[in-house]
Structure formats: structure tokens, C-alpha cells
Amino acid sequence: MMRRMFLAVSILIAAAACTQPPAPTAPEARPDPLPGTKLSVDQLNSQMFHVSAGKRLKGAWPNGARVAVGLSFDVDNATATLSTGNLDYEILSRGEYGAVDGLPRLLRMLDRQQVPASFFIPAASAVLHPKMITSIQSAKLPHEIGVHGWIHERLPLLNNEKEEQRLLDLSIETLTKMTGKRPVGYRAPSWKFSGWTMGQVKAAGFLYDSSLMASDDAYELLLDGTPTGMVELPIERILDDAPYFGSNADGSNPSLGDVYEVFQAEFDVAYEEGGLFLLTMHPHLMGHRSRAAMLEKLVQYMKGKPGVWFATHEQIANHVKPLIIAK
Ligand SMILES: [Zn+2]
């Protein structure tokens, strides 16, 4: 009886709760979902062109090549997960796969095909698996190692100028010590800049950045409308393995054939246009058996055409940089 009464009272309370109108939120506590509508054209200009595309850097490729191909691998492994304090070892081991099997398999493939690549490594990822650096360096190919944050920190989330500078300095210092060479290439974790990133990266003296996507061709980066002298080697979401393979393996991933088709079609047009074909990949994603085999098939397809220049991002940036001052 008591139990029935308790149940009835609970139902009444729940029903009353359902019919209560939602508590009003103070207007000042609600974030404005459309702040851009209130800005002047001057304010829009300063936001849009804080970091933007300057001169297009497109000229002839070396030795009469028709297209430049740059394969890049972001060696994140588990760092993005660790940066958030998530200690779910199922997810961490998915990242660890990059160091254990993914990277070695991709290095073997690059060696078989004799093509160089650029590896953007969060410095903490290199510290946790230092063997990765020696295996990249022991390949008899001019592979490049670039900066990709300390622990794959999302810079807009970090939202702290001093802390961002500390982590950038630490990343450069750590990779320089481990590789014996100061990196010349920068790729922001998750490609995300904060309001300070462009200024800090320019001040650090990088030759190029590869985090933005305003063009298919390389371009000079502008900071608040002023030429920086820095080369942008543009990335693209459709030329990245993460949007296709980065989700949970819940059966929704596209087939290898579909991804191959997009990559090949992008390459074919780059070849026609005398352009640039840059891929962003991750050893913990692309290093799986079937995917590495798909990538090898694509490399073989590209090698089958005359005039394809396979180069590191550093080589490509060095090649196009003189175009910044050319008339
Ligand atoms: Zn990354």
C-alpha cells in the first residue's frame, strides 16, 4: 500500500515537473549564436583576413614534372586522446597501433616504392615511442619530420597565448633534440589555429605551414593583410584519411574503393592542371593492412604516369618559396 502511494506521488511530481515551463535564462548568460550579424564591414575584414591567402605560388615543377605529390602522415597515435585526460585504453590502444604496426608498415611501403614522405609528429608522441624517429630516419629516403604540437593540443580550446607559446617552444626543442635537425614545417593539431598561432609560428621562423585550405595551390600566408614570407602547403578534408576512416568502426566507414576513387580523381585533375597533390594520413588509421595496400596501389598508379615529382613538403616549400618575391 505504502509502495503504491509512493509511486502515485512520484508520478504526480514527475508530471508536474514535465508541465513546468523551462526556467528562463538571463539574456546575458546566453551566448550570441550570430555575433557576425552585428559587425561592421571593417570588423568583418579584420576577422576574415587575420590569417588569409596571399600570392599564389604556382610555377614550373623541377625537371619538367607535371605535378608535385606530397604524402604526409600525422603521427598522432594516442596523443589527442591523452590531451583530454581520457584514459580509455580501448581508444588509447587504437592510437598505439600507429606506433606498433601502422608506421612500420607504411615505412616498408614507402621503401618498396622509393617515395619520400613528411611526418608531422606531436613531440609527446615521439617521446612516448622514440623508436619511431629512428625508424623514419634509418630509411634511405629523405623523409621529413615536422611539428604537430606537443600533445595534439587543440589550440582554440587551450585558449592561452603564453601556454601556447610554451608548448610550441617545447615541441620545437624536443624534436630538434631527437632528430638532430630543427623542423622547418608546421602543422597545427587538428589544423586548428588560435588567434595567436600564425604570429607565433611566423616568429619561430618556420619555412611553411600545412594546416589551411584556401587554395589547391601553394600560397603565401598573410597575417592581418601583411605578407609573412611563409609558404602555405594546403591540406583538404577530402584528401585526408580521417574523415573516411577516423570514426568508430561501426560499419559506417566507406569502402576502400570509394576512398581510392576520390584520391585518384583528385590526383588526375591536379595532374591535368599542373598542380599540387597533398595527402594527409595517420599511421593509426592508414597503417592498417587493407588501407596501406590501397595507398600503395595509388602510389603505383601515380608512378605509372610520366612527370610525377614525389617530394617532401619541405622540398616543395623550398621549390615554391622563391615565387614569393618573383615578379
Ligand atoms: Zn593530428
Q: Please give the distance, rounded to the nearest whole angstrom, from the Cα atom of residue 285 to the centre of ligand 1.
A: 11
Provide the residues around ligand 1 (an ion) whose CB is within 5 A: 74, 76
pLDDT of 4 > 60? The answer is no
Task: Give the confidence band of 23 by pLDDT, cuts at 50, 70, 90.
Answer: low
Residue 15: HSE in the Cβ half-sphere, 13 Å Cα cutoff: 6
**Per-residue confidence (pLDDT) for residue 15, from 0 to 100:** 43
Q: For the chain, what percent of residues have pLDDT higher than 90? A: 87
The mean pLDDT value for 239-247 works out to: 93
Sign of CA dihedral 220, 225, 229, 235: negative
Count CB-CB contacts under 10 A for residue 135: 16
What is the distance of C-alpha 167 from the center of its chain? 17
Dist CA 75 CA 106 (whole Å): 11
Q: Please give the distance, rounded to the nearest whole angstrom, from the Cα atom of residue 5 to the centre of ligand 1.
A: 57
Q: In 118-277, where does DSSP find H-type helix?
A: 123-128, 131-138, 155-158, 161-179, 197-203, 242-245, 256-272
Sign of CA dihedral 194, 195, 201, 207: positive
Task: Give the confidence band of 30 by pLDDT, cuts at 50, 70, 90.
Answer: confident
Angle (deg, nearest 10), helices 289-303 and 103-113: 20
Q: Which one has a higher pLDDT value, 67 or 253?
A: 67
Q: Please give the distance, rounded to the nearest whole angstrom, from the Cα atom of residue 120 to the centre of ligand 1.
A: 8
**Per-residue confidence (pLDDT) for residue 27, from 0 to 100:** 59
Q: Please give the distance, rounded to the nearest whole angstrom, from the Cα atom of residue 189 to the centre of ligand 1.
A: 5
